[in-house]
Structure 1
Amino acid sequence: MARSGVQYEDVQRAVHTLMSRGDAPSVQRIREVLGTGSFTTISEHLRQWRIEREENRDQPPSQELPETLQTLTLELWRQAQETANESLALYRQEAEQRVADALEAAKESERRAEDAGQRESAVADHLAKAQTRLEEQSATLASCQAERDTLSNREAKALQRVQQLEKELARLQERNEALATQQQEELATRDAEHQKRLHQEEQRNEAAEARLMSLLDDARQERHTADKQHGARQAQLESRNESLDKQLQEQRTQLADYRQQNREAHWELEQRKEQDRDRQRMQERLSQRLEEKDEEVAALKKRLLETEARLANTPLPPFVY
């Protein structure tokens, strides 16, 4: 039911006014002519006017005119009706084409809507997967950061340990140098003493040999006079020679002991140097492992930045409220 206000006659007069201007009647134009009225009321009156016009389209004009005028009017009415029918046929054909186009457009819109829904679903799945990968990458990054912090702490401890080892190494090197200097001094002192003792022994041996020769000469001279005395003297000389040989052997043994001690000290010094080289190799391995971990952290950061860049460049579907 139309609301009170704009009446059917008002709409009818507005339609005649528009048609006299050559404008096609519409709800908006009728409202502009009337200057008031709701769209619903005007639309109902306009629909009623079109129904009535369609019903009265085939009715001839009134017969209360003169015969000649009626004949002319009928002829004009017939021509107007034919023209209207032709226009109506063209209008219907055009309307049917427009309806077909509209249906095709609606189907295309439905297909686009389906495609858009599929794309939206695909984008949502891709976004969910990307979100999952981002969370995994974030967890991996957090783990790597924790591992990096742990490695940093280990590195700090290792550096502290290396510093301590370096201090210990420096102390050991100083001690080794001092021991080497002391050993060299002791060896030099022992060599000097040994040389001195050897020289003394040689002198003693030479003196003993000289005395022995003298005794032998005396013995030869006294040989003819006292064989027993010669035998006793000969035994005494042999005993002295054995004693001198024994002393010489003892000195040679002491010299061998000194040389053995020198070799042991040298071997101990080589062992300490080998330990120092092992500590240096261990420090190099620790540094290499720290560099590898830093490279892994850098690679993970790069992958995270690339993932964030791909997410930033991925077109997101519009939000639906």
Structure 2
Amino acid sequence: MSLLNIKNLSVRFGDANAVPVVDGLDIEVNEGEVLAIVGESGSGKSVTMMALMGLIEAPGIVKADQLQFDGHDMLSLKGKQRRKIVGKDLSMVFQDPMTALNPSFTVGYQIEEVLQQHLGLKGKAARARALQLLERVEIPAAASRLDAYPHQLSGGMSQRVAIAMAIAAEPKLLIADEPTTALDVTIQAQIMELLLDLQREQNMALVLITHDLAVVAETAQRVCVMYAGQAVELGHVPMLFDSPKHPYTEALLKAIPEHSLGAKRLATLPGIVPGRFDRPHGCLLSPRCPYAQADCKAQRPDLVPHAHGAVRCFYPLNLNSEVA
């Protein structure tokens, strides 16, 4: 059953005529599912989820045919109605734990504030639950950390605190926005294992925004590949890895270091993601695409369904190798 439905989402900064940084995006997430959103920096991954959370402020403009979470129209919710959902049933873990936590308050105070806001817990009950949450995210000597300030914690411990706050009200959907970017490699693996354990235990849906395709291959059921604000491919794991349909997906997979073993150079995709003011007239990938033809430079392709997902390309790859 669909928990999240996003149809034709656009996000602009400026006026209604500004070039969208997220353009006509459709995403669906089912209950208990792990969906990964991948793409280079500037592809619109984080902005998409910020729009869902209601964190796009003026001059940002968010429009959609549908932005529905658990039966609620997130575009129409205001004030108290939104706060009953965001932080409780819908929660988010941000990239940098050191800026996600308030440096002026202790760890315990910040977790207890979430518990009071969404579960009505106060005093000893909130304190006891905060301790349980710190223990659940495997913070050592959890009781002594309740009165610690964020600057007294390492990056890994700060991220665990942020996760504890995000899962405090047992959300139905957790968004993890590159939750391991600022952490050491060994800590990254621990944080990902923790998130997946929590996802399975609570049967919550998880949207994982990441650059790490190895993590996607091991954790996600479905993948949305984004480029320049558009979804260019949707597919299931492992089929998307074995048989990518979009040239951009193929390029991302070729750039994995393991795929270049024995080669003189790591495979790369020349150029950069187009910005708001340098968008090509046709397919947004056409200036960088080795398969681009004349019509690719003149028209923009639609996202077209196929037997195992969808692809935005006039000349998709590997379609003939599929069995419908």
TM-score (normalised: structure 1): 0.17
Rg larger in 1 or in 2? 1
